[in-house]
């Protein structure tokens, strides 16, 4: 089976088409997906989706490109305290220096407070990082996270990937590797230890090569996997088994509910 570790199932074209979307991705052996929140405005939505649909798990966090206020951290803490069964991580959070309006100082403040919540609630963290790998590595060295996490949509070098791995993080592999021009990232993903790779789509974002202009979908995880196999030296079956094990190790709450 496949697990999409990062899918915005609460966004179009999936919202209001949940049953059809689930039936469609299950045809491709995608058995579970993790839906990360991006802010207080969709905390309740992603939680509700997980309660309505067995394949859906979720994470709660404050995404760096959206505007937040200190009260959102209080709400986040309260929702984490309840520890619903299908809440598997804190996220999506991180740093983003790609957008013109980026306020890295403010982003960092919210990120560090979510680091504290991750350790306090003993949860892994899903980290967004665009043009900020160096800054996030520095923060992780200064603030060790007990339960680690995943670098979502990794697009860096082999050296950067290994630094994240040494700090207890997994590497989220998605549509970036479908682009021939992404030579640095494709090389990194071909060489890093297999036991630190998880798969994701970031659907409906991060379209794969050849599918630009179309919404990305959870079932495209199969194509990401096929490209990963073409880049690696291990047999496909070994890669698939390892990735499932990696995912359940990183997000152990999914493993505890594996019969759902």
pTM over 0.75: yes
By residue range, what is the domain housing residue 142? 2-256
Give the pLDDT score at 104.
92
For the chain, helix, strand, coil in percent to 5 are: 45, 15, 35
Q: Check whether 8 is labelled as a binding-site residue.
A: yes
Q: Check whether 202 is labelled as a binding-site residue.
A: yes
The CA distance from 12 to 16, in Å, is 8
User: Which residue reads 């039936």 in tokens?
Assistant: 23
Give the pLDDT score at 180.
96
Long-range contacts of 244-249 (CB under 8 A, 24+ apart): 244/1, 244/2, 244/3, 245/195, 246/170, 246/195, 246/196, 246/197, 246/198, 247/3, 247/5, 247/198, 247/199
The CA distance from 221 to 208, in Å, is 10
The CA distance from 108 to 86, in Å, is 27
Tell me the pLDDT tens digit for each residue of 211-260.
Answer: 999 999 999 999 999 999 999 999 999 999 999 999 999 999 998 665 44
How high is the mean pLDDT in each 10-residue block of the chain (260 residues)?
A: 97 96 98 97 96 97 95 96 90 92 92 98 96 95 97 96 98 97 97 98 96 96 98 98 98 73
Sign of CA dihedral 62, 167, 82, 87: positive
Residue 90 near residue 60 (C-beta atoms within 8 A): yes
Sign of CA dihedral 122, 123, 124, 127: negative
Burial class (CB in 10 A: 0-12, 13-18, 19+), 25: buried
Residue 117 near residue 81 (C-beta atoms within 8 A): no
CATH of the domain at 69: 3.20.20.140
Going by C-beta distance under 8 Å and a sequence separation of 6 or more, which residues neighbour residue 245?
195
Number of domains in the chain: 1
Give the pLDDT score at 102.
79
Q: Check whether 152 is labelled as a binding-site residue.
A: yes
Give the pLDDT score at 256.
67
Give the pLDDT score at 259.
46
The CA distance from 68 to 186, in Å, is 34
Phi, psi of 99, rounded to the nearest 5 degrees: -75, 150
Tell me the pLDDT tens digit for each residue of 75-102.
Answer: 999 999 987 889 999 999 999 998 877 7
Closest CA to 221 of 166, 172, 167: 172
Give the pLDDT score at 257.
63
Closest CA to 216 of 199, 231, 229: 199
Work out the angle at residue 151's Cα, subtended by the Cα atoms of residues 150 and 153, and round it to the nearest 5 degrees: 120
The CA distance from 238 to 250, in Å, is 18
């Amino acid at each position: 089976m496949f697990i999409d570790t990062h899918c915005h199932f609460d966004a179009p074209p999936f919202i209001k088409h949940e049953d059809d979307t689930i039936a469609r991705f299950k045809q491709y052996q995608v058995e579970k997906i993790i839906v990360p929140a991006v802010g207080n405005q969709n905390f309740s939505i992603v939680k509700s989706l997980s309660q309505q649909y067995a394949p859906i798990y979720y994470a709660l966090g404050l995404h760096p490109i959206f505007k937040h206020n200190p009260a959102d951290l209080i709400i986040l803490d309260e929702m984490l305290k309840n520890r619903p069964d299908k809440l598997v991580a804190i996220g999506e959070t991180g740093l983003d220096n790609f957008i013109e309006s980026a306020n890295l100082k403010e982003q960092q403040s919210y990120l560090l407070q979510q680091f504290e919540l991750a350790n306090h609630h003993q949860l892994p963290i899903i980290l967004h990082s665009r043009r900020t790998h160096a800054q996030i590595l520095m923060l992780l060295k200064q603030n060790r996270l007990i339960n680690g996490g995943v670098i979502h949509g990794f697009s860096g070098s082999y050296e950067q990937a290994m630094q994240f791995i040494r700090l207890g993080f997994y590497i989220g592999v998605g549509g970036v590797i479908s682009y021939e021009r992404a030579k640095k990232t494709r090389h990194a993903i071909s060489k890093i230890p297999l036991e630190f790779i998880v798969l994701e789509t970031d659907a409906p974002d991060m379209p794969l090569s050849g599918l630009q202009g179309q919404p990305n979908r959870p079932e495209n995880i199969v194509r990401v996997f096929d490209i990963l196999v073409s880049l690696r030296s291990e047999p496909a079956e070994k890669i698939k088994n390892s990735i499932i094990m990696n995912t359940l190790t990183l997000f152990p709450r999914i493993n505890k509910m594996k019969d759902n």
